[in-house]
Chain A
Amino acid sequence: MKRQIPLLITFLSGITLVIQYYVLPLNWIGKTFAGWFQAITAFAYVLAAISLFAVNGKKIRDRAPGWLYNIVLLVSLTATLYMGLICDFIGLGYPGYQPIDEGTAFDWMFQYIYNPLSATMFSLTAFFIASASFRAFKARSIESTLLLSTAFIVMIFRVPLGEYLWLKVMPDGWSISWFIDTFIMGGFNNAGQRAIQISSAIGLISVSLKIILGVERSYLGGE
Chain B
Amino acid sequence: MGKPVLYVTGLADVDDIQTLAALSILSHVAKKTAEYDTSILATTSRAVTFSAAQEVVRDAFTIAGRPDSFSVESVRYISDDQFGYAAGVDGMMVREQPAANFYMGKFYAESLIFAETGYATGAIQIAGTAQANQLPFFVAACDYTLIGEELFAASAYLSGDPLQVGSLRGQDVGKAIVMVVLVLASFDATLQVLFDWSFTSYLGALLS
Contact = CB atoms under 8 A, between A and B. Distances in A.
Contact of B130 (A37, A69, A203, A206): A203
B10 to A, nearest CB: 14
Contact of B27 (A58, A202, A206, A221): A221
B99 interface: no
B116 A219 contact: no
A135 interface: yes
A211 B77 contact: no
B152 interface: yes
B148 A51 contact: no
Nearest to B148: A200
Q: How large is the interface on B (under 10, 10 to 19, 20 to 34, 35 or more residues)?
A: 35 or more
Contacts of A111: none
B17 A208 contact: yes
Nearest to A122: B83
Interface in B73-110: 73, 75-77, 81-84, 86-87, 91, 95, 109-110
Contacts of B164: 210, 215-216
B178 A202 contact: yes
A132 B115 contact: yes
Interface in B3-58: 13, 15, 17, 20-21, 23-24, 27-28, 46-48, 50-52, 54-58
B174 A117 contact: no
Contacts of A141: none
A48 interface: yes
A169 to B, nearest CB: 30
Contacts of B135: 196
Contacts of A206: 152, 167-168, 170-171, 174
Contacts of B150: 203
A223 B24 CA distance: 9
A197 B148 contact: yes
B155 A121 contact: no
B194 to A, nearest CB: 19
Given A132-B141, A219-B23, A221-B55, 13 more contacts: A45-B47, A66-B91, A124-B113, A131-B116, A136-B139, A199-B175, A206-B171, A207-B20, A210-B164, A215-B163, A218-B28, A219-B20, A223-B159
